[in-house]
Structure 1
């Protein structure tokens, strides 16, 4: 039997997600579910900022689950499911299970579902080839019920819940006089229907006699065995067969491997387990779920047939901004409103990119095109995204379509745009309780030009008080992380929505020269420049930096 993960499609925005990225993920996943009936799940590739938290709380929307990496995992693989067994089952029982399933490895679990050991076909074969100890039944503390089941026997006297703890296994082929010389207290004696042999074994304090060929056990022998606390087992097999089979009653816990087991988690990445498997020769490896419980077995054949995750990207199309592992997924769609960022795909994808101020505006259009009704919650999230991305229609990226869409959505969501926008931006501007890292990365994106890799972060506020307070903190933080950053230059926008202006902070080699060229300034120094009328990263900062870097 094969187990496979549910065929989910993950809808996910960029790293360091803003309000548009999160809301568009939630709303587009909802739209796709309504259209197809399939399982589309919104996810996030980073921590949400204070503004987005306010929006989600305002419309009682759950925060999408965090997905750090979309690389193929064990849970994306059709691995083999074989139920774990109790370590008390017999070797014979284990062999039957393996034969029926066609597997070569059988896991043993405890009552809580935790893996305790493994036994393989090879382990079972070794018990036949290498175990010659006639005391192994006792050494293994074999349950009587295992012996009864293995020999297809009846228990005439005794308790099947008992265990064998002492003695050896003997076949009685001699007369009673000879038997007295080698039967010891606590032995298990395999014999036939001879009354004298049965009597002798009981009187020599054997703990159990196994009577073969289904022979009738007399009342005298039964009573005598009860008096001597000697068990009687009757099997239909002859003495040769019974002697050959009895070792198969040993519980698998005696032979199975318990220490240094190589296991994989459903959360492990295929690229990592492939490396481990390459250095080992095991055919199957146990798989444990996120709670450490056994769920199945995986082999190299399984991971070769791995199913990559299905992903839809919203609000970005650049590799540097995408969730880790994006190159391994089955990318289905990209819905975006930014410049083309050079993200390459193995197969053709549905790519919708429109020169609008917000991804949410595009998604609204798709609701309309597919005649899907927009509920109040979804309308509120889409409206919030447009307000955020267009800075309440003040950004030069804002189009008439964005504003028209936002006002229609506001009616559905029953919100006053002006009052709601001020509350939303104020919530996002309460930065004093956040760390420098949280402030810097709350809306940070990495871009590339022909000659340069650079990052641009942005925060917005309705007044300068909060922006002035965080400025020295961010300048110091940019300097501290520069050497560990993947970017050649770092920029950070302190945007005043009311004044429609930005103070641009910068750090990095040649960054002053680049800004002089980008914004045609005579001299840049001091770690920042003031840019009146500039509020948009996408339209007013990014193109200028890219153009200047290409001309330097």
Structure 2
């Protein structure tokens, strides 16, 4: 809302608004000739100088004197708006952005940032509302309130698909990737330790759920394929050797290349 002299610029919250793009310029309530003429002049200024869809209006009856002035000048009387309070129909939108239950929280977060949303509706295939996560709730996934055995275990577990992982990482699929769109309960194992430590840690979980994350470590690449992991993610724009790609295809191990370093990749996956 802006003022110029005794006029007020009001957005299309009026019930009688012509369209959602219309700007109504209104003087004070029970307007006199100055208020009406100022509204007409400022609306013309907005149209001619700024290219806005502006229209003069008033919130009270135009007096006999003002009508005489307008008729003499050959100008039509402003539109009468009895109520400028916003209603649900004037502030709601039909082009609603939604997310599906199987999208990664990162893709939902990016959608919020792109459109400056604080929350976004999650709907099923039939358009029914399932939930409305807020940006504060998504932030807790990055910054848990406390760290203990339970939260550490939860940080390893990800329910998603390989396709979602590729999208979250802006990654590339190397070789074959069976059942790319299947939603699964996966376990992340970041191979930042020695070969034996990584092996022991990985053996705690079913191989079909394992997602091994590592950089330029050919021995870990070989270990992940040997164990029949669900997926091997190679970070830092490094690539697997051709022999690893061949073995991975034979054992049904998907390989994804991430452009980020191991720490960033792990954070994006969580």
Q: TM-score by structure 1 length?
A: 0.30
- Aligned-partner SS, 2:137: helix
Q: Residue 198 of structure 2 aligns with which residue? A: 179
Query: Which blocks of at least 5 consecutive residues in structure 2 are unaligned?
Result: 1-10, 19-84, 145-150
- For the pair 1:164 / 2:177, whether they are aligned, the reply is no
Contact 1:190 1:212 in 2 (8 A): yes
Q: 1:5 to 1:118 in 2, by over 3 A?
A: farther
Contact 2:156 2:189 in 1 (8 A): no
How far has the Cα of 1:163 moved from its partner? 2.6
Alignment match of 1:148 (pick from 136, 151, 166): 166
Q: How many residues align?
A: 181
Alpha-carbon RMSD: 2.8
Alignment match of 1:202 (pick from 222, 225, 231): 225
How far has the Cα of 1:194 moved from its partner? 1.9
Query: 1:84, 1:6 → 2: CA distance?
Result: 28
Query: 2:219, 2:12 → 1: CA distance?
Result: 58
Query: 2:14, 2:246 → 1: CA distance?
Result: 60
Max radius of gyration: which structure? 1
Query: 1:95, 1:150 → 2: CA distance?
Result: 11
Query: 2:115, 2:12 → 1: CA distance?
Result: 14
How far has the Cα of 1:5 moved from its partner? 9.2
Q: 1:180 to 1:107 in 2, by over 3 A?
A: same
Counting only pairs closer than 5 Å after superposition, residues 385-400 of structure 1 correspond to structure 2 as none
How far has the Cα of 1:154 moved from its partner? 0.5
Q: Which structure has more RCO (C-alpha within 8 Å, separation ≥ 6)?
A: 1
How far has the Cα of 1:188 moved from its partner? 0.9
How far has the Cα of 1:144 moved from its partner? 1.4
Q: Residue 189 of structure 1 aligns with which residue? A: 212
Contact 2:221 2:240 in 1 (8 A): no
Contact 2:171 2:259 in 1 (8 A): yes
Query: 1:236, 1:105 → 2: CA distance?
Result: 29
Partner deviation per Cα, 1:185-208 (whole Å, 9 max, x = no partner): 231111112221110122122211
- Aligned-partner SS, 1:106: coil
Q: 1:211 to 1:7 in 2, by over 3 A?
A: same
Partner deviation per Cα, 1:323-373 (whole Å, 9 max, x = no partner): xxxxxxxxxxxxxxxxxxxxxxxxxxxxxxxxxxxxxxxxxxxxxxxxxxx
Q: 1:79 to 1:3 in 2, by over 3 A?
A: farther
Query: Which blocks of at least 5 consecutive residues in structure 1 are unaligned?
Result: 10-71, 248-552
Query: 2:88, 2:262 → 1: CA distance?
Result: 50
User: Structure 1 runs of 4+ off > 6 angstroms?
Assistant: 2-6
How far has the Cα of 1:171 moved from its partner? 1.2
Q: Residue 74 of structure 2 aligns with which residue? A: none
Alignment match of 1:214 (pick from 218, 229, 237): 237
Q: TM-score by structure 2 length?
A: 0.59
